[in-house]
Structure 1
Amino acid sequence: MYQINALNPKDEGHHTRKRFGQNFLHDQRVIAKIVRSVNPRPGENVVEIGPGLAALTSPLIGECDALTVVELDRDLAAGLPGRVPHPERLTIIEADALKFDFMSLFQEGRPLRVVGNLPYNISTPLLFHLLEFGAKVKDMHFMLQKEVVDRITASPNTKEYGRLSVMIQYYCKPTFLFEVPPGSFNPPPKVTSAVFRLEPYDVKPIVAKNEKALARLVSHVFTQRRKTLRNSLKGMLAEDAFEKTGIDPMARPETLSMADFVALSDLVVA
């Protein structure tokens, strides 16, 4: 469980906090690559989650005329103005991103662009929390464990394909960008990381009649992924659901497309 933050060379003496699971990014090449991927521009509504010691914040704020950061660590938040080249452009919010109302940062005509080296131990609930504001978000660039990014971007008929793949891809277009090795951090985590992009759909390619039913069905079948659909969904679907959708009742969940999951969820018995 790691929270990856950026390490500013002049803050080498900062001690990481185990309760926040902090690992600080120090590889300047990786930092530059992240900033190039985000490609921030003046006039955009850019929000960074977990700025840490500001090594990513500093180049970001150099490209923006305003940057909002959400930082849980009170000591780190207090030191941020002294670590960036344009403190007058910086707005600091001391808050837990998992509970923060990102809608409060939305400005008409300026959708949010969210950047973050997310706390790995709360990454999944945080991603779903952010998706609640997806209609107001242009894109999101995050770093997580590579294995989690592989699951988010996975296609059907792969071992990585699961609940996270289906539900994230229902709301967003995900793109795997690049890997980040453990040596890019201080202290090095025990996992390889990866940077990826999420682009929430303005209009979803496929729309479920009941998104809660979709989420419930997807979660249910992937907790029993070795079972056939007929067995795992017994009692959840109308009797003629497989006949209506043309989906093989003997199939397993990792073989289904997004359209298949939506078609089945539309026939969930209330």
Structure 2
Amino acid sequence: MQYTLKKSLGQHFLRDENICRRIADAIQQQSFTQLLEVGPGGGALTKYLLQFKDIDFKAVELDEEKVVYLEHTYPELKGRIIHQSFLDAQPPFEGSFMVVGNFPYNISSQILFKVLDWKDQVPHVVGMFQKEVAQRVASKPGSKVYGVISVLIQAFYNVEYLFDVPQECFNPPPKVMSGVILLTRKTELVDMRSHKHFVNLVKTAFNQRRKTLRNAARSLFTEDVLQNPIFDKRAEQLSLEDFAALTFSMNY
């Protein structure tokens, strides 16, 4: 049984067995009993995940052709595939579960924001992204690629960049390198006024990242507060602790 690749869904299927095994090994280093694979596609990684012992496994796949192919190729998947977009999905398990996948590049940032919505249930994520996105998630203050997604993810997860994945490991080969990262939920979170305040401040600050914080986020603070020297800095120079501390001084 064959399947077709759909560029509209950002499909680049992993075909390098060594990379599949390395990802599966990284997953098995974590502790979990429930596992969700996002975008299994042709099942390159899925076949390794199905070998895990005593694990409740599910997959979410938007492409109906791939659902039919997977259920035909791996009969044990029947009843375990959620046929919809991950971005529209509800948590598929009660309690905690791990999220893994070769994430579609065209929605990879949205996938990470969805994981943040589920953060209370998702202690670990092992995911493959376009290398640029993976580096951005893992980047530190002062880096040119440090931005909204870096701060918001690192507020709740420790990020470890695991390894590069070259273009030739895929069919069809993407135009860019890929990278695999591990997210591990933090046990102690930085103190902030609220998640809503934090997100608002970070997005506002980076929306005009070339400006000083005083100019970029002026609407969120009183003139008195804006005299603090920290507002001389640009967003990329602030740590997540800086952003969190500033939420307590916001107007609203």
TM-score of the alignment, normalized to the shorter chain, above 0.5:
yes
Contact map agreement 2:34 2:97 (CA 8 A) in 1? yes
CA RMSD of aligned residues (A): 2.1
Give the Cα–Cα distance (whole angstroms) in 2 for the partners of residues 25 and 231 of structure 1: 45
User: For the Cα contact (< 8 Å) 2:220–2:250, is it kept in 1?
Assistant: yes
Partners of 1:224 and 1:88 lie apart in 2 by 46
**1:239–1:202 Cα change, 3 Å:** same
SS at match of 2:35: strand
* Whole-Å separation in 1 of the counterparts to 2:121 and 2:230: 38
Contact 1:140 1:199 in 2 (8 A): yes
Which residue of the other structure, out of 189, 195, 199, is the alignment partner of 1:215?
A: 199
Change (3 A) 1:125 1:43: closer
In 2: Cα distance, 1:265 partner to 1:170 partner: 13
> Is 1:138 aligned to 2:128, yes or no?
no
The whole-number CA distance in structure 2 between the counterparts of 1:173 and 1:69 is 24
User: Residues of 2 paired with 1:30 and 1:52: CA distance?
Assistant: 16
2:222 is matched with which residue: 238, 246, 253? 238
SS of residue matched to 2:115:
helix
Give, in angstroms, the shift of residue 128 of structure 1.
Answer: 0.8
2:71–2:78 CA contact under 8 A, matched in 1: no
Q: 1:187 aligns with which of 147, 152, 172?
A: 172
1:76 and 2:66 equivalent? yes
Alignment correspondent of 2:212:
228
1:105 counterpart residue number: 93
String of CA shifts for 1:38-96, please: whole Å, max 9, x gaps.
01789710111111111210111112333111111112112213323x71687111111
Instruction: Output aligned runs, 1:58-77, within 5 Å.
Output: 58-65=47-54, 66-77=56-67
Of all paired residues, the percent bearing the same amino acid is 35
Q: Point out where structure 1 has 5 or more consecutive residues left out of the alignment.
A: 1-10
For residues 218 and 116 of structure 2, the distance between their equivalents in structure 1, rounded to whole angstroms, comes to 30
Distance 2:242 2:31 in 1: 42
Could you tell me which amino acid in structure 1 is paired with residue 145 of structure 2? E
2:36 is matched with 47
Separation in 1, partners of 2:121, 2:188: 12
Task: Show structure 1 runs of 4+ deviating over 3 A.
Answer: 40-43
Q: Which residue of 2 aligns with 1:57?
A: 46
- Alignment pair present for 1:116 and 2:101: yes
Q: Equivalent residues in 2 for 1:76-95 (5 A)?
A: 76-84=66-74, 87=76, 91-95=80-84
Read off the aligned partner of 1:15 and give its amino acid letter.
T
CA distance in 2, matches of 1:89, 1:254: 47
Whether the aligned pair in 2 keeps the contact of 1:46 and 1:114 (CA below 8 Å) is yes
Aligned-partner SS, 2:155: helix
Q: Does 1:148 align with 2:133?
A: yes
1:21 shift after superposition: 2.0
For these two proteins, the number of residue pairs brought into alignment is 251
The residue type equivalent to 2:199 in the other structure is: A
Q: Look up the equivalent residue of 1:261 and give its one-letter code.
A: F
1:17 corresponding residue in structure 2: 6
Once the two structures are superposed, residues 203-257 of structure 1 have per-residue CA deviations (whole angstroms, 9 ceiling, x without a partner) of 41x12112212111111111211111222222321233256xx643211111111
Q: Give the deviation of 1:20 after TM superposition.
A: 1.2
- Between 1:121-130 and 1:88-97, the stretch displaced more is 88-97
For 1:251-270, list aligned pairs within 5 A.
251-270=233-252
Amino acid at match of 1:118: F
Output the TM-score relative to the length of structure 2: 0.92
